[in-house]
């Protein structure tokens, strides 16, 4: 086996792991990383001055996020050995199969090249036993190696989900995939002990390595089909402490010989986070013990909040809430239970405005109210006494007063019927006397007008009479007055009686 000189480049953001022929490891903090994994190439073959290439290794690229600090174990595949005269090529590190070897009847050797090893990342290594079942099952990324070259044919490229083979053209293998193959992690060796061995070997890869190439007894056998070993299959998976995304697999994607692994840091989680979607403290997805996730941040758990019982100590905001259990707005509110506005209010008991109001007398709202039963404002109210305000008003006619105060109203008020009847009688007498006085005045006016008209007629007649006759008539009138009235009308004070 040929071991290549290797150089690992490690920086803060980029780590490159080249082939070393042994186990390597690195520790990654919680965060997200971009990983590129390359399988190794199969060995080459020269036959009668013709050059045949080994199959190139596969390329697997992905992003992977870790929730905890994780140790990765790296196995970087080695290139398969070239086939030489009389010597088959050896299998590359990490699962490459050996090439086959045979001799013809004359003893001339025919050899095949070795398969390239796979490159993988594991979570578990059981001491120095790299091929234990537990170690192989802990692989999370595998880039398959290519198969070695055979007589007159190139090797098959490292596969993706399947291995590759020539039947006779290049195609995916039905025998090498994620669940079937030659052996877990190992490629098969090329066949030997045939008269004309024109075989190569399989490349290593997950889940099983590719089968080794066949050899033939005579030239009459198929000179192309089966002579090249199958390449291995690649693999990517997720798990509980890590998540994978942006996966891309390319069969034969390695342009170099040996395998390699590069790990580039996309971001590292904040120191308080386990899993995260970004580097800031507000982008946490998981938290360590003693912390809880709140809007993307890992906050320390208050010691009193979870001791002794998680279930009951956290319910304090509801069980002892003053907003609901001790609220004075609903349980002991003075606005409804002991309101001063309705029970002892003096605004309604002694108010003159409500005593004589017609609006509150027939109201059903106050009919059964005990607050107004003993009110003196309605029983002995002086507002209904014979006041001049109501004496001459037609609104308070005798009919209204008699009917309204001779019976009890709906509020239980009883009025003095005799007194009110006397008031009505007095009002009737007053109205009658007033009417009689008006009638006398009207009659007096009529008599006055009649006498005045006669007096004018006498004055007209007196113009034609002599002055002597006038004096005689005046003497007669004066004699009449003294005879019947005995009064002197010469006074200005009594002039109106003279005219009358």
> pLDDT (tens digit, 9 = 90+) per residue, 361-375?
444 444 444 444 444
- Listed ranges 15-29, 86-100, 218-232, 441-455; the one with the highest mean pLDDT: 15-29
Q: How many CB atoms lie within 10 A of CB 287?
A: 21
Closest CA to 84 of 105, 96, 99: 99
pLDDT for the residue 348? 43
Q: What is the pLDDT of residue 362?
A: 47
424 has pLDDT over 60: yes
Percentage of the chain exceeding pLDDT 90: 27
- Listed residue (132, 140, 134, 150) closest to 88, CA to CA: 150
Indicate whether 264 pLDDT > 80.
yes
pLDDT of residue 207: 60
- pLDDT tens readout for residues 191-229: 776 665 556 777 877 766 667 776 655 544 454 455 678
Mean pLDDT along residues 449-460: 71
Q: Is the pLDDT of residue 145 over 70?
A: yes
Q: Within 13 Å and on the Cβ side, how many CA atoms surround 59? A: 12
Cα 36 to its chain centre, rounded Å, is 40
Q: Which of 92-101, 293-302, 358-367, 409-418 has the lowest mean pLDDT?
A: 358-367
The model's pTM is: 0.57
SS3 474: helix
pLDDT in tens, 146-175: 999 987 789 999 998 888 887 677 878 878
Mean pLDDT of 131-154: 89
| Contact (CB, 8 A) for 156 and 211 | no
**DSSP 3-state of 263:** strand
Mean pLDDT (whole number) for 308-320 = 47
Distances (CA, A) of 487 to 484, 491, 493: 9, 10, 12
Mean of pLDDT values over 76-86: 93
pLDDT of res. 358: 45
Give the single-character DSSP code of 256. S
pLDDT confidence band for 265 (50 / 70 / 90): very high
Nearest to 42 by CA among 171, 170, 167, 189: 189
């Amino acid at each position: 086996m040929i071991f290549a000189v290797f150089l690992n480049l490690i920086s803060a953001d980029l780590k490159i792991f080249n082939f070393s022929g042994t186990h390597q490891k690195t520790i990654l903090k919680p965060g997200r990383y971009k990983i590129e994994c390359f399988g190794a190439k199969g060995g080459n073959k020269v036959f009668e001055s013709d050059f045949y290439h080994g199959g190139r290794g596969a390329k697997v690229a992905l992003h992977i996020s870790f929730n905890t600090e994780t140790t990765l174990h790296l196995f970087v595949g080695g290139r398969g050995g070239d086939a030489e005269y009389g010597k088959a090529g050896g299998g590359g590190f990490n699962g490459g199969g050996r090439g086959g070897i045979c001799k013809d009847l004359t003893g001339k050797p025919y050899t095949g090249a070795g398969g390239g090893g796979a490159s993988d990342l594991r979570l578990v290594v059981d001491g120095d036993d790299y091929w234990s079942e537990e170690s192989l099952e802990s692989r999370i990324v595998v880039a398959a190696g290519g198969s070695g070259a055979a007589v007159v044919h190139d090797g098959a490229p490292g596969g993706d989900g399947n291995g590759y083979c020539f039947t006779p053209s290049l195609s995916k293998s039905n025998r090498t995939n994620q669940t079937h193959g030659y052996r877990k992690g190992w490629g098969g060796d090329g066949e030997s002990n045939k008269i004309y061995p024109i075989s190569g070997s399989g490349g290593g890869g997950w889940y099983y390595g590719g089968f080794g190439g066949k050899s033939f007894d005579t030239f009459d056998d198929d000179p192309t089909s089966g002579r090249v070993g199958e390449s291995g299959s690649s693999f990517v998976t997720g798990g509980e402490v890590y998540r994978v995304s942006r996966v891309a697999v390319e069969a034969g994607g390695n342009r170099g010989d040996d395998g390699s692994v590069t790990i580039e840091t996309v971001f590292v989680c904040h120191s308080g986070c386990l899993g995260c979607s970004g580097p800031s403290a507000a982008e946490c997805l998981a938290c360590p013990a003693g912390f809880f996730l709140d809007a993307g941040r890992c906050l320390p758990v208050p010691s009193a909040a979870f001791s002794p019982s998680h279930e009951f100590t956290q319910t304090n905001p509801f069980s002892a809430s003053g907003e609901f259990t001790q609220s004075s707005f609903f349980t002991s509110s003075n606005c409804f239970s002991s309101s001063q506005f309705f029970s002892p209010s003096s605004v309604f008991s002694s108010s003159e405005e409500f005593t004589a109001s017609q609006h509150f007398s027939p109201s059903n709202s106050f009919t059964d109210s005990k607050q107004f039963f003993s009110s003196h404002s309605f029983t002995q109210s002086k507002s209904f006494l014979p006041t001049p305000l109501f004496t001459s008003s037609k609104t308070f006619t005798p009919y209204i007063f008699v009917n309204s105060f001779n019976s009890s109203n709906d509020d239980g008020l009883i009025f003095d019927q005799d007194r009110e009847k006397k008031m009505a009688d007095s009002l009737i007498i007053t109205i009658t006397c007033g009417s009689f006085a008006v009638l006398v005045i009207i009659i007096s006016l009529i008599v006055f007008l009649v006498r005045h008209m006669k007096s004018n007629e006498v004055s007209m007649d007196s113009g034609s009479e002599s002055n002597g006759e006038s004096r005689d008539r005046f003497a007669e009138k004066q004699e009449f007055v003294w005879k019947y009235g005995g009064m002197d009308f010469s006074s200005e004070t009594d002039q109106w009686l003279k005219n009358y």
